[in-house]
Amino acid sequence: MRTKMLAGNWKMNNGGAATKDFITNLENWFSKDPVGKKSAAAVSSKAIEVVVAPPFTSIESACSAKQTDIIQIAAQNVYHKPKGAFTGEVSLPMLEEAGCKYAIIGHSERRHVFGESNEDLEKKLIATLESRVLPIFCVGELLEERESGNMKKVLDTQLESAWRSLTSDVVADMVVIAYEPVWAIGTGQTASDDDAEDACDYIRTLAYEKFGVTSSDSLRILYGGSVKPENSASLLAQRDIDGLLIGGASLDADSFEKIIASAL
C-alpha cells in the first residue's frame, strides 16, 4: 500500500502571519472536525500524508506553528550546493535546520519561467537524496508537446537525466514523482482521469524497466494541475495516482480540507 500524498504548493503566496494562521486552522480541523479527525487517523495509520509547501520565508513560521506531526512541510525549490557565494539561493542544510521533510524539485514554473534545465535538476535531485530532505520531483509536457504526440518522449528525457545515477533502493524508499502537465497548471483545465492515469502508468512502467518491480511498486507518483475538490476523488481513484500536488486550491483551507477528505 502506497501512502497517498496530498501536497499543497502555495507558490509565492502566504507570508509568515498568513502561514501561521493557516497551519493553526488546519491543525484545529484535524483535531476538532469529525472529517478532520478521520483524516488525522488516516495520517497516523500512514494511509495518507499531508504536506504544505510555503515560500522560503514562511517555512520557519509553518514549522513553529505546528503543534503535531500531522502536517509535513516542503520547500518549493532548493540549491544543490551546501553553502557559499550563491546569492538568492537556499541550501539543503538550511531546509533541514528549518524543519522541511520534502523539497519540490523541477516544478514547471522553475523549468519554464526560470529556465532550470534537466542538468540543473539532476544536480538538485542528487544533492537532495544525499541530505535528510526528500525530493518531490516534477515532470510534465507543454501543450504543444502533447498535441504533437510527444508526451512520452518528454517524460523519457526528463526522467532519464533525473534517474541515471539513482539506485533501485533509493527510488523505492525516497523518491516521489509528480506528473504535472504544464497545460493543466493554473489553467482550470485538469487532465482527464484517463490522461492523468495514462501518464502516471507510463512513469511507473519506466521505473519498472529501469529499477525493477520492487521500486516501481513502491514509487509514489502524484498528479498535479488544476486539482480541486470536484475532481480530486476520481483522480485519486486511478490505479497509478498516489496523491495530488495542489496549487490554487491549496490556498483555500476549505478546499484543501475537502481534497484531503477525498483521499479517505
The residues that are catalytic are: 107, 180
For ligand PGA, the closer of residues 26 and 172 by Cβ is 26
Report which DSSP code applies to 45: T
Of 76, 131, 226, 231, the one binding ligand PGA by CB under 6 A: 226
Of 49, 180, 242, 257, the one binding ligand PGA by CB under 6 A: 180
User: Judged by CB under 6 A, does residue 248 bind ligand PGA?
Assistant: yes
Of 9, 77, 215, 218, the one binding ligand PGA by CB under 6 A: 9
Listed ranges 25-33, 144-152, 198-206, 239-247: which one lies at the site for ligand PGA (CB under 6 A): 239-247
User: Judged by CB under 6 A, does residue 116 bind ligand PGA?
Assistant: no
Site for ligand PGA in 54-93 (CB under 6 A): none
CA separation (Å) from 246 to 25, 54, 105, 197, 251? 18, 12, 15, 17, 9
Grid coordinates belonging to 81: 550546493
Q: Distance between alpha carbon 247 and the CA centroid of its chain, in Å?
A: 10
Which residue shows C-alpha cell 477525498? 262
Residues 6+ apart with CB under 8 A from 261: 35, 38, 39
Whether the Cβ atoms of residue 84 and residue 111 lie closer than 8 Å to each other:
no
Listed ranges 94-102, 113-121, 144-152, 218-226: which one lies at the site for ligand PGA (CB under 6 A): 218-226
Of 54, 106, 135, 224, the one binding ligand PGA by CB under 6 A: 224
Cα–Cα distance, 178 to 245 (Å, whole number): 7
User: Judged by CB under 6 A, does residue 43 bind ligand PGA?
Assistant: no
- Smallest gap, in angstroms, from Cβ of residue 258 to ligand PGA? 14
Give me the half-sphere count of Cα atoms (radius 13 Å) on the Cβ side of residue 253: 15
User: Judged by CB under 6 A, does residue 51 bind ligand PGA?
Assistant: no
Query: 50: which strand partners?
Result: 6, 71
Listed ranges 25-33, 70-78, 92-100, 240-248: which one lies at the site for ligand PGA (CB under 6 A): 240-248
User: Judged by CB under 6 A, does residue 227 bind ligand PGA?
Assistant: yes
- Secondary structure, 3-state, 25-83: HHHHHHHHCHHHHHHHHHHHCCCEEEEEECCHHHHHHHHHHCCCCCEEEEECCCECCCC
3-state secondary structure of 137: strand
Listed ranges 29-37, 124-132, 205-213, 221-229: which one lies at the site for ligand PGA (CB under 6 A): 221-229
- Smallest gap, in angstroms, from Cβ of residue 122 to ligand PGA? 20
Contacts with ligand PGA, residue ranges (CB under 6 A): 9, 180, 185-186, 224-227, 245-249
